[in-house]
Structure 1
């Protein structure tokens, strides 16, 4: 990898208009709608009083497959998405216009035989320039160790409590889940082409890591704030193993400090942890308005 070319590189600002249909498609890509009579799920899949799933900030204004740019000389087929985190500064509306400013914030060289960490940050804003979210991605460049380093790494994610989870939620993915999810913008062929998947060391296409993260976000909202998804303010985690479409994901939630939980996700069929070191933070619940309290049945 040419680390000097990467250090000098500047992304163009990315802009995107998205509609209610895009928000619904993203939610369907996470499996929302599997229970057709659930009011909690309908909130994200029906245009009446529609809400956007907070983890949608991960995929809005996608920069494309920029790692394939020839000047970087990056072994992009050996790239793994290692960690992801986002902070919601204002609740994401279900439709609108947004812009994204991307930058590589650092590279940490682990040695010629161990690869390198690459840190990418995205700042999302609405059409007026008001910040909406900050999204940070950590990638492991398995084939680019010994390249040198620059910048600042993201803070380390801490281990989970060594005790049983306080809540466990289960979601079964569809065999075609990756093909549906990729319509929201991430067209990496690893998630569609069996040939590309085999070249990357997998026996078949795998589910997008950000789809697995979105399913965990779905579980957290359902367990913690089903009527107020806008309360979710922070989510961070480590991708530890891939998920194959059709597998069942259990999200294990551990109560922590006030306004915070820890979590991980497990594939039931193989009994492997696929998301680890998860942390979620929520804003306080909104007190009902006085007129709502007065009109409530007694």
Structure 2
């Protein structure tokens, strides 16, 4: 069987050395739409607030960068863990959480420690849970919890795992904004390290059941975080403490993301977010999405 859950969860932690500099951060920001027009900023390329994402002398780092630092080794580490051997065409990103322990530096060297806390049996699919903890010489930087959904690998008799869903507030959102996903967005985003051909090769996408390549889930994740930081948190990336989501549906390059935000618990520093495709009757994209902030 390609997935040996017991072997995966009992394996010794794996360590990987990560390194990045301002070019990696800038590339990531460009890959999630930095510098592109938005409803709030129709001409943003040289806007001082936008330059914080693109100009090295004033660069701030969005916490979403944690998912690609060092070339996206967190996800790669999960797929190469002992006891796991899966077909990339069957793999989808199920969910993601980034918890920030302090502001991410523009350049750095750090050690990533990866484990597989659980492998869940969903019947027709398996969910691999990967935890990556990253620290440098000054202590912990961030923790990534990743859920990898693998079609056709369930039925091995394991635990089904949690299935709770977060209901959206019944009132209107406190703010709504939209972000266009450019036709070449996936081609640019993949340069940050996720080389899965599902996001670039039409023939491979067809093998996975799609009529054309789809956008990386983590690109939608990053686009959403930037939009929320810019519109709800005053553009201050350092206010983000954690960001969690479930990938509820695909996005095709060229579509527009509709992002709704509720100040669910302002006294606790909590935003609830819903992301849908404005081009497909608000088809779900990100669900169960919460940003905790200071």
Contact 2:63 2:98 in 1 (8 A): no
| TM-score, reference length from structure 2 | 0.88
Distance 1:136 1:8, change over 3 A: same
> How many matched pairs?
279
**For residues 90 and 246 of structure 2, what CA distance do their matches in structure 1 show?**
18
**For residues 191 and 11 of structure 2, what CA distance do their matches in structure 1 show?**
28
Between 98-107 and 212-221, report the one with greater CA deviation: 98-107
Q: 1:194 aligns with which of 182, 186, 202?
A: 202
Matches within 5 A, 1:240-251: 240-251=248-259
What displacement does 1:132 show? 0.8
1:5 alignment partner in structure 2: 7
Q: Which runs of 5+ in 2 are unaligned?
A: 37-43
Q: 2:240 aligns with which of 224, 228, 232?
A: 232
1:118 alignment partner in structure 2: 128
**For residues 70 and 203 of structure 1, what CA distance do their matches in structure 2 show?**
33
Stretches of 4+ moved more than 6 A in 1?
Answer: none
Q: 1:30 aligns with which of 26, 29, 32?
A: 32
Deviations 1:7-60 (A, max 9, x none): 344453111211111110000000101121322211010012211111111122
1:168 alignment partner in structure 2: 176
Q: 2:278 aligns with which of 268, 281, 290?
A: 268
Contact 2:205 2:213 in 1 (8 A): yes
2:23 alignment partner in structure 1: 21
2:143 alignment partner in structure 1: 134
Secondary structure, aligned partner of 1:40: helix
1:282 alignment partner in structure 2: 293
Secondary structure, aligned partner of 1:32: coil
Secondary structure, aligned partner of 2:287: strand
**For residues 109 and 155 of structure 1, what CA distance do their matches in structure 2 show?**
12
Between 264-273 and 67-76, report the one with greater CA deviation: 67-76
What displacement does 1:166 show? 1.2
Deviations 1:232-259 (A, max 9, x none): 0111111111111111111100111121
| TM-score, reference length from structure 1 | 0.87
Matches within 5 A, 1:248-263: 248-258=256-266, 259-263=269-273
Q: 2:152 aligns with which of 143, 163, 175?
A: 143
Contact 1:75 1:143 in 2 (8 A): no
Contact 2:88 2:196 in 1 (8 A): no
Q: CA RMSD in A?
A: 2.1
Distance 1:97 1:83, change over 3 A: same
Deviations 1:121-150 (A, max 9, x none): 111112x05101111111222211112337
**For residues 189 and 65 of structure 1, what CA distance do their matches in structure 2 show?**
18
What displacement does 1:165 show? 1.3
Between 219-228 and 91-100, report the one with greater CA deviation: 219-228
**For residues 98 and 44 of structure 1, what CA distance do their matches in structure 2 show?**
22
Distance 1:199 1:70, change over 3 A: farther
Secondary structure, aligned partner of 1:17: strand
